């Protein structure tokens, strides 16, 4: 006895109730790594003594980063701030458990991650 496969069409809707389609596409950030220069960072046990940590994108890439992401893999929270010159910092953004902070189309010299509660993070920038 063979069983015929069943197919189910699933529709996704945005926060306004509009169905995603070719004219209303699902928002997905795609990192363009065409120059092959990608840097990663992580800390699987980010505790108060590690804080704050500053990721120097410019030193690693020989230019400011233009896109990337930071993922909170831990149980706690931390904040993230960006700098275009390693001196002046933007507002801190709280990244909670399982959240992803994407950035693109900006100039990032440095990323500062500050401990709130014990957590873990990982990320990339290009």
Query: Model confidence over 12-62: pLDDT tens digits?
Result: 677 777 777 767 666 665 555 556 678 999 999 999 999 999 999 999 999
What are the extents of the domains in the chain? Answer: 39-125
Class of domain 39-125: mainly beta
Query: Model confidence over 83-111: pLDDT tens digits?
Result: 999 999 999 999 999 899 999 889 999 99
Strand partners, 98: none
Residues 6 or more apart whose CB falls under 8 angstroms from that of 48 comprise: 115, 118
| pLDDT band at residue 7 using 50, 70 and 90 as cut-offs | low
**CA of 123: how far to CAs of 29, 41, 77, 103, in Å?**
14, 5, 15, 11
């Amino acid at each position: 006895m063979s069983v015929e496969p069943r197919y189910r069409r699933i529709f996704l809707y945005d926060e306004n109730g509009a169905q995603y389609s070719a004219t209303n596409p699902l928002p997905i950030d795609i990192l363009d790594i065409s120059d092959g220069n990608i840097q990663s960072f992580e800390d699987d046990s980010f505790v108060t003594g590690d804080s704050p940590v500053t990721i120097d994108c410019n030193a690693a890439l020989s230019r400011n980063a233009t896109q990337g992401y930071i993922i909170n893999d831990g149980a706690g929270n931390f904040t993230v701030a960006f700098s275009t010159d390693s001196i002046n910092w933007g507002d801190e953004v709280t990244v909670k458990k399982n959240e992803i902070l994407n950035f693109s189309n900006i100039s990032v010299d440095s990323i500062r991650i500050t401990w709130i509660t014990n957590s873990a993070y990982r990320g990339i920038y290009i």
